[in-house]
Amino acid sequence: MAPAVVQMRTPAETALIERFEAEKAGLPGAAAERAAAFERFKAKGLPSKRVEAYHYTDLRALMRQAPEAGSQSLPAPKAPAGVTIQSLAEALAGGFRPGLAMGKAEDVVVDLNTAFMREGLVIRVAAGTAVAEPLVLDVAHASRHGRVIVEIGAAASVTLVETHSGADGVAYSSNHVVELILGEGAKVEHIRVNAAGNEALVLSTLAASLAAEAELMSLNFSLGGAVSRHQSFITYAGENAKLDLRGVTMIRGRQHCDNTLVVDHAVPHGTSRELFRTVADDEAHGVFQGKIIVRPHAQKTDGQMASNALLLGDEAAMSNKPELEIFADDVVCAHGATCGALEESQLFYLMARGLPRAEAEALLVEAFLGEVLEAVSDEALRDSLSARITEWLAARQAA
């Protein structure tokens, strides 16, 4: 018998274990879920690059410091008509079950969040409610294990914005989870802005389940953090649901940003579109791992996945890993991944019209990323994201 491989606990793992033992009695509700999730973490430890899903983002090596439990509350936006907002602690203490949007997916980062979650919100949008103004969640870096669960009733529609920000020069880590449970015919736009501090380790997860005819557009707009990983786990629970998953990543210096997604077509007639664009300057490293699963009965699934990267820096890199796992025979699925520098011939054309090189590059980069923003319907919101792109490029020109 081969000897069992015993990995030494890392300091972060040890800290997490000690912290859980010390804090669990004070954590609100969901005791059984917390304990089970924590046991899974204890058995597996932090995932190293030998774990396929974490191959490009070796959390075991990267997590030097365990996220703290965090503050008690996440500031709640004002609830418009037809929307109720409850604190997570209150909901969990009242027996609310977290994790329903995860479907069959299992993940250590989500397990850690489940074990430690304390601050957060449970938001319910009543059936048929069309929320006009975006609901905006400002997540400051004091929030470490946040969870926001949003139940969107049948035929309701809402735009949800999470903005994660934090101070530069502070090596903090955070682990946030958003669960979206879309009822029949519900329509949701979800925009996550990662403007975390430049030394942060930013872990975040979107878990969503889509009932019949539901439509979800989710955009991860990421420019902050030293190391960021955003994962999306999407499950189709009813037929004819539509998913539009998008990503804008702008990284420079030695930033690392990972977008990992698993789209699980468990029922027939689902449509999914994934469009991720990365711009990496200097020595930055972008990662895209996208897996589309089509279960045996999920006929007529239509999935199209694309990841395109522009490498501005000579030392910048992109790891693209699109995967299709198809077990049904009547489906249309495709993926494409591209990675390259700006087109010299296009740059020359623009320069020949008088644009200095940096300006020509900025115009092409804005065009490249701008296409991804087209799915954001709220004009003010789209403009604010465009402005962040322009700002990022201006800082590049100034450097």
Partner 1 sequence: MLEIKNLHVEIDGKKILNGLTLTIHPGEVAAIMGPNGSGKSTLSYVIAGKEDYTVTEGDILLNGNSILEMEANERAAAGLFLAFQYPLEIPGVATMTFLKAAMNAQAKARGETELSPGDFMRKVRGAAEKLGINPDMLKRPLNVGFSGGEKKRMEILQMTLLDPAYCILDETDSGLDIDALRIVAEGVNALRGAGRGMLVITHYQRLLDHIVPDKVHVMAKGRIVKSGGPELAHELEKDGYANYVEAA
Contacts with partner 1 by CB under 8 A lie at 344-346, 348-357, 359-360, 363-364, 366-368, 370-371
Looking at the DSSP bridge assignments, the partners of residue 171 are none
Closest CB 357 distance from partner 1, rounded Å: 7
Of 334 and 367, which CB lies nearer to partner 1 in the complex structure? Answer: 367
Of 32 and 345, which CB lies nearer to partner 1 in the complex structure? Answer: 345
Closest CB 314 distance from partner 1, rounded Å: 17
Closest CB 368 distance from partner 1, rounded Å: 6
Of 327 and 348, which CB lies nearer to partner 1 in the complex structure? Answer: 348
Of 154 and 363, which CB lies nearer to partner 1 in the complex structure? Answer: 363
Closest CB 272 distance from partner 1, rounded Å: 23
Closest CB 318 distance from partner 1, rounded Å: 19
d(CA 260, CA 229): 7
256 contacts 284 by C-beta, under 8 angstroms: yes
Closest CB 393 distance from partner 1, rounded Å: 13
d(CA 277, CA 279): 7
Of 325 and 343, which CB lies nearer to partner 1 in the complex structure? Answer: 343
Of 116 and 221, which CB lies nearer to partner 1 in the complex structure? Answer: 221
Closest CB 223 distance from partner 1, rounded Å: 19
Q: Under the phi-then-psi rule, with left for phi > 0, alpha for psi from -120 to 50, and beta for the rest, what region is 128?
A: left
Closest CB 344 distance from partner 1, rounded Å: 8
Residues shown for the chain: 399
268 contacts 299 by C-beta, under 8 angstroms: yes
Q: What tokens appear for 8 in the block?
A: 């030494």
Q: What tokens appear for 126 in the block?
A: 């009543």
- Give the helix ranges, DSSP H, for the chain: 11-23, 31-44, 59-62, 88-93, 108-116, 344-352, 357-373, 379-398
Inter-CA distances, 225 with 210, 248, 288, 291, 300, Å: 30, 14, 17, 24, 39
Of 8 and 345, which CB lies nearer to partner 1 in the complex structure? Answer: 345
d(CA 37, CA 57): 21
Q: Roughly what angle, to the nearest 10 degrees, separates helices 357-373 and 344-352?
A: 120
- Of the candidates 293, 277, 295, 257, which has an alpha carbon nearest to the alpha carbon of residue 365? 277
Of 141 and 396, which CB lies nearer to partner 1 in the complex structure? Answer: 396
Q: What is the largest CA-CA distance in the chain?
A: 72
Q: Read off the DSSP letter of residue 254.
A: T
Closest CB 389 distance from partner 1, rounded Å: 12
Of 127 and 364, which CB lies nearer to partner 1 in the complex structure? Answer: 364
d(CA 139, CA 367): 29
Inter-CA distances, 48 with 59, 111, 192, 317, 341, Å: 6, 16, 26, 20, 30
**């669990």: which residue's tokens?**
24
